[in-house]
Amino acid sequence: MQLTTDPRAAARALAEGHLAALPTETVYGLGARADLPHAIARVYATKGRPADHPLIVHVRDAGAASAWTTDAPPYAHDLARAGWPGPMTLVLPRSPRAANFVTGGQDTVAVRVPSHPLMREVLDVLAGLVDDPDVGIAAPSANRFGHVSPTTAAHVTAELGSLLADADVVLDGGASSVGVESTIVDCTGPLPVLLRPGHVSADDVRRITRLELGASSDVRAPGTLASHYAPRAGVRLVASDGLEGLEGVDGYDASIGLLALDDVPTPPGLVRLSSPATADEYARVLYAALREADALLLGTVLAVPPPPEGIGAAVVDRLTRAAAGR
């Protein structure tokens, strides 16, 4: 495994069919060329990911996304114009280019145009190397399946370094600026359906499309299992007024961590993992705080969620799924 800050090194590895852990504005992804079945098979094996769990294809622009999709409704074009490049994934009917090994056997494909400058440079260089302006990189989060997503290159190497081959690359692009995975919107029906909350909120989708959200979808999407994003420590969601006197209560480990906004005081005996000032900052530090809890060998993390508006809804979603892991 090569650790580098050079996007050209990552692009060369991908062009040759190797893996590259890549920085995006959301989290780090474990990337492979989306048209190479043997490379995609390595992504699944490295992550321990179920074969029917679809991947997100990252592309350079909306034009490239159209090469992987078909029959996009007008509101999907509205979302693409407003949200790309950025932390939003659209699920659309797939074109022949999107094979079963990327879609998890579904008739749909998830596509995204990322905004991280190094990820965009990797896509540009890769397009030149393989002479394909529409080349896609399938890049689920660069961690073992169901575990806490990585937001730094150090997180990736700590969890996957021993599983990557010598020719694979980890591209260090600093800490992810958003910190939680992209919003996923199912665009296959008459109304958009929010499959996974993220930085782009439900209200954003309504505002952009001028439509109400649909109520249900049959699409399988990444990161939507009941238990996901889970550290080894047990995660429990609590209200701020429920913290008093919790230390030493039966059912809690002797070592307890606390994750909450900075206006929530730390009860005696608890380890403060982070004190974000806003919901946006909470999202940025969330996964690093959960990883810190494991590094400190804490048995329990008490999480006081932020208000569930905007990106706060995504934080609540990730914490709820992390809590379901124990």
| CATH code for the domain of 101 | 3.90.870.10
Do 203 and 243 fall within a single domain? no
pTM exceeds 0.75:
yes
Q: Please check whether residues 41 and 108 belong to one and the same domain.
A: yes
The residue length of the chain stands at 326
If you search the block for the tokens 């048209």, which residue do you land on? 35
Give the pLDDT score at 279: 97
58 and 184 inside one domain: yes
- pLDDT level of residue 326 (50, 70, 90 thresholds): low
Domain residue limits at 183: 2-209
**pLDDT for position 221:** 87
Say if 46 falls within a structural domain: yes
- Residue 216: inside a domain, yes or no? no
- Write the pLDDT tens digit of every residue in 108-161: 999 999 999 999 999 999 999 999 999 999 999 999 998 999 999 999 999 999
* Number of domains, the chain: 2
Domain-located, residue 217: no
- Residue-wise pLDDT for 169-201, tens only, equals 999 999 999 999 999 999 999 999 999 999 999
Q: Apex CA 226: angle with CA 225 and CA 228, to 5°?
A: 70
Is residue 141 in some structural domain? Answer: yes
pLDDT computed for residue 265 by the predictor = 93
pLDDT in tens, 261-298: 999 999 988 999 999 999 999 999 999 999 999 999 99
Q: To the nearest whole percent, how much of the chain has pLDDT over 70?
A: 96
Tokens of 252: 């809690």
In a domain, 228, yes or no: no
Residues 74 and 160 placed together within one structural domain of the fold: yes
Q: Is residue 32 part of a domain?
A: yes
Task: Judge if 241 and 185 occupy the same domain.
Answer: no
- Which CATH number is 299's domain given? 3.40.50.11030
In this predicted model, which residue has the larger pLDDT, 325 or 177?
177
- 97 and 175: one domain? yes
- Of the residues 176, 209, 242, which one is the last residue of a structural domain? 209
Residue 251 has pLDDT above 70, yes or no: no
The verdict on residue 254 lying in a domain is yes
> Which of 37-41, 45-49, 185-189, 242-246 has the least mean pLDDT?
242-246
